[in-house]
Amino acid sequence: MAIILLMFLAVALAPWSHGLSQTLNDPSSLVFTSTKFDYHGGPLLSGPRGINIYLIWYGAFYKKDRIPITDFFASFSPMAPIPHRQNPTVATWWNTIKLYKDKAGKPVSSTVKLVKQLGDIGYSLGKNIKRAQIASYIKNKIEKKTLPLDPNGIYLVLTSEDVLVERFCMGSCGFHGSLRVSSGRRVVYAQVGDPLRQCPGLCAWPYAIPAYGPPGQVLVAPNGVGTDGMVMNIATILAGAATNPFKNGYFQGDALAPLEAVTACPGIFGAGAYPGYPGNLMVDKMTKASYNAYGAGGRKFLLPAIWDPLRLICKVVA
């Protein structure tokens, strides 16, 4: 089970605990000095038709928060309605993930598609949830055929700001794992929470004052602090789930608490990043919001750096 590390710890500890240092010949990236970010021989999410997302809105979400997230998923398509000359894009960011290949040489799926959404405004699991309950929740929906069985899909549960999930804000901003359904097939599931009320300084940095580490400047969020925190963490989860879906793909360290494609590059969003500073970002002239990628309809997002398996650097979207 892969874990999204807390943003504040990533920023405060990255250069020392994760072996990151700046590279002189590529100021837009940071070098990951460890040689242990290995491929462990397992399958990736590499289906030719893309990675299908089955999204469950668990709890109360406002429309203003849902739309930016669905726009984020729409932005992976090469046909996404992005205004001319708005670069880089969400699809550009995903290009680095497509560099990851399995033992047969098949790359991670070239796109991500939101194919179905469900709502659970009645909090059927309550408001204090264990991770194991989320796995059972997804399994139940597949076996009752509320959701289809899709071995190349990700079943993503987004929990609202009033829902407490085991380990959320206490070492994790979300997680992904896998489960076996009655047919014997394994599927990937994930959870990301809205950090607005519980831990914005942990899971929505740099759009909130960090709980620990160098204070730095709080940036303006283009879509709202909680929503943009979720987008950053969804992006992190997607990258990890695609490249390490069953704990035997690409990762460094312990398989139960691995550093994955994005968590190997903590706290890095733009050129020149260092602890407490996310790097050089674009700024909207009207709203003063900071971002580094465009999405569908010209929407603006902040996406984390990805470990480039070919260049062996943490690559920011550019």
pLDDT value for 36: 63
Q: Is residue 295 part of a domain?
A: no
Percent of the chain with pLDDT over 90: 77
- Indicate the SS3 state at residue 8: helix
- Indicate the SS3 state at residue 3: strand
Q: pLDDT (tens digit, 9 = 90+) per residue, 27-60?
A: 334 444 444 689 999 999 999 999 999 999 999 9
Q: Is residue 294 part of a domain?
A: no
Read off the pTM: 0.90
Contact by Cβ (8 Å): 278, 219? yes
Provide the residue range defining the domain that includes 147: 2-10+36-265
Q: Is residue 289 part of a domain?
A: no
Q: Is residue 108 part of a domain?
A: yes
pLDDT value for 35: 44
Identify each DSSP E strand in the chain by its residue range. Answer: 2-3, 20-22, 29-32, 38-39, 51-58, 112-120, 128-129, 153-159, 164-165, 174-180, 186-193, 250-251, 282-283, 290-291, 293-294, 300-301, 306-308, 313-315
Contact by Cβ (8 Å): 88, 95? no
pLDDT value for 31: 40
**Structural domain count of the chain:** 1
Q: Which residues in the chain land under pLDDT 70?
A: 1-36
Q: Is residue 22 part of a domain?
A: no
Q: Is residue 213 part of a domain?
A: yes
What DSSP string describes 196-250? Answer: TTT-HHHHSTTSS--SSS---PPPBPSS-HHHHHHHHHHHHHHHHHHHSTTSSSE
pLDDT value for 26: 35
Q: Is residue 139 part of a domain?
A: yes
**Closest to 294 in 3D by CA, of 79, 71, 63:** 71
Q: Is residue 290 part of a domain?
A: no
